[in-house]
Amino acid sequence: MALTFYWYPKCSTCRKAKKWLEEHKVAFNEVHIVENPPSRAELEEMMKKSGLELKKFFNTSGQKYRELGLKDRIKAASQDELLDLLASDGMLIKRPIVTDGNKVTVGFNEEEFEKMWLS
């Protein structure tokens, strides 16, 4: 079964991850994370399956994150508020997100990709 690869083509980390998947002949379907961001329900599901805190799904180095002053807001926000924020704008989501429906990776780390997507 092909992976779902949420990415932003202008993101260098996303391009590295895509190249890695291609070089390792891992089948995937591309989803432009800004044009077709995951829904609130999809994000919640991915968070649960990843085992990561919801905060890890935020693109903390992004311009939008800084514009909205989220650094301080995130600490006090509820999970529902954070999910609503993430679902509202694909630019707020850390990328790439790769999932097979059961496992999820956020960002690109070669070792993590090898463990998750080659075994």
Long-range contact set of residues 44-51: C-beta below 8 Å, sequence gap at least 24: 44/83, 46/97, 46/99, 46/104, 49/99, 49/102, 49/103, 49/104, 50/103, 50/104, 50/105, 50/106
pLDDT tens digits, 72-81: 889 899 999 9
Q: Please give the model's pTM, rounded to 2 decimal places.
A: 0.94
Please determine, for residue 41, whether its predicted confidence score (pLDDT) is greater than 90. yes
At 16, is the pLDDT very low, low, confident or very high (cuts 50, 70, 90)? very high
At 68, is the pLDDT very low, low, confident or very high (cuts 50, 70, 90)? very high
Could you tell me the domains of the chain?
A: 3-117 (3.40.30.10)
Burial of 21 (0-12, 13-18, 19+ CB in 10 A): buried
Structure tokens at 78: 């509820």
At 51, is the pLDDT very low, low, confident or very high (cuts 50, 70, 90)? very high
Q: What does the pLDDT read at residue 98?
A: 98
At 119, is the pLDDT very low, low, confident or very high (cuts 50, 70, 90)? confident
Strands across the sheet containing 3-7:
28-32, 3-7, 97-99, 104-106
Distance of CA 60 to the CA centre of its chain: 12
Across the range 12-35, mean pLDDT stands at 97
Roughly how many angstroms between the first and final C-alpha of the chain, as a whole number?
A: 13
Mean pLDDT of the chain: 95
